[in-house]
Structure 1
């Protein structure tokens, strides 16, 4: 179904933890992080922490080795591969950073499955230390959203994605867990789907007043349920279009055995 755009948050959605906290904790800088946390925005804090890591002799290789060990549910990668095999356009909208995300996705062998990555810039400077910058430069101007942190409004990113896929047959599925995923959920329209992680901040915010989210809500608790619900929704959309698993150029989509095995359990759609 080439008419489906699936947007993934990254931390606690694709991976099972917060990648920022994971790096800081695994390299032994939790106490300093907690000490500085009340004094500056999170994005600024992470850039500061990377400076501290560098000054204490932690190398980029040390950071990469930690990122390669980040925990994730074993069904998340098959879910991503299945959605891609079914013709979905996969994108990332995350408040992590490009360096962490690309390092992890490359290690997992799934970077090429995503057509777009929207996150805070991260790069290694000439001194060999990692710099992490804001997606929206709040030192120059505010993004104007009171729901989101100063460095990134995911709602504005979703609005741009919606504008770029404005054809009538396009459907958007958004997966997320954090409070920063609430703003984009409010941008979705009736034909879209919101997949909040159960009992996480975005789930709690939506549950306070579900009527403000126009999209259908389908919760998930772990990677296994993420895979199941995501394939259910893709199957539902394909049936509504009466052209299951056909790409826009009318060629039959090639499906792996794992994808074919996953599809039967996707029906019927749970309420």
Structure 2
């Protein structure tokens, strides 16, 4: 597994692109949301909108591994029963803190929109993501957001659905990010858009799945010590050479900024 460290500072090594000098390479930059862009799990954060700020044990015990989306549907139904309205959810989402350095990274990316195509893949929900990104001033950066559909019904209850169905045994029943990424790349290729490199910023086990499909020219940014990082290390140990992408663990968006900036310099 390739890492991009040298000495005390962070140094990123990338292969030179083959794109002509007159045509700058186009990079695909993919973000997760929970505990990546924001520094919390938004599904936990919204419980602050409850009168008692926590769920009863009878709701918590209904969770089944691999069926988190269905569990959150029950959580949101309970919150609706407790009188939590759209404005309450919106206020929570807008005040979830960004991960360290993420605001600075977004400022850098806002100046590089001709070089990066940026998308977001998350198992959260569209309403919450849009609220948080708009509050941070980062919403216009994203060409596409892939997340579970959400809305408010006639009662004012927050409703949630699954994103899609799939056959991946590694991912939760409602979303496989590898399938989303594969379909997105095919769609862009059909329109004549091919990417010099893919950069993937994530933290969770469901971010590991798409990153396994990345090539040696691509870069995975797993958050240090989180499930995506641990799974990469486990694969390196059990199946050396199987994980192809270069790996740059991160604690702060400033580290991501440094690596992306160096990638741009190397292709000029």
Normalising by structure 2, we get a TM-score of 0.80
Say whether residues 1:30 and 2:60 are aligned partners. no
- 1:239 matched to which residue of 2? 266
CA distance 1:199–1:129, shift in 2 (3 Å):
same
CA distance 1:39–1:148, shift in 2 (3 Å):
closer
Q: Is the 8 A contact 2:203 2:222 kept in 1?
A: yes
Normalising by structure 1, we get a TM-score of 0.79
Distance in structure 2 (CA, Å) of the matches to 1:74 and 1:39: 30
Q: Is the 8 A contact 1:121 1:134 kept in 2?
A: yes
- 2:41 matched to which residue of 1? 18
Distance in structure 1 (CA, Å) of the matches to 2:63 and 2:155: 25
Moved more, 179-188 or 223-232: 223-232
CA distance 1:81–1:161, shift in 2 (3 Å):
farther
Q: Is the 8 A contact 1:220 1:229 kept in 2?
A: no
Distance in structure 2 (CA, Å) of the matches to 1:149 and 1:57: 29
After TM superposition, which residue ranges in structure 1, 4 or more long, deviate above 4 angstroms?
Answer: none
- 2:135 matched to which residue of 1? 107
Say whether residues 1:80 and 2:106 are aligned partners. yes
Bigger share in helix: 1
- 1:208-246: CA deviation from partner (whole Å, max 9, x where unpaired): 1232221111111233333333333x32xx523x3xxxx
Offset of residue 180 of structure 1: 0.4
Offset of residue 59 of structure 1: 1.0
Distance in structure 2 (CA, Å) of the matches to 1:39 and 1:193: 29
- 1:89 matched to which residue of 2? 117
- Counterpart of 2:254 (choices 203, 224, 229) is 224
Say whether residues 1:207 and 2:233 are aligned partners. yes
Moved more, 21-30 or 176-185: 21-30
Q: How many residues align?
A: 233
RMSD: 2.0
- 2:83 matched to which residue of 1? 57
Moved more, 144-153 or 44-53: 44-53
Task: Find the residue that maps to 1:191 and give its secondary structure.
Answer: coil
- 1:41-83: CA deviation from partner (whole Å, max 9, x where unpaired): 2101111111111111111111111112212235202212312
- 2:28 matched to which residue of 1? 5
Q: Is the 8 A contact 1:84 1:90 kept in 2?
A: no
Q: Is the 8 A contact 1:81 1:113 kept in 2?
A: no
- 1:128-183: CA deviation from partner (whole Å, max 9, x where unpaired): 111110001x4xxxx11011000000000111122234455532111100000111
Distance in structure 1 (CA, Å) of the matches to 2:185 and 2:65: 36
Residue segments in structure 1 that go unaligned for 5+ positions in a row: 243-271
Task: Find the residue that maps to 2:123 and give its secondary structure.
Answer: strand
CA distance 1:36–1:231, shift in 2 (3 Å):
farther
Q: Which of the pair has the greater relative contact order for Cα pairs under 8 Å at 6+ separation?
A: 2
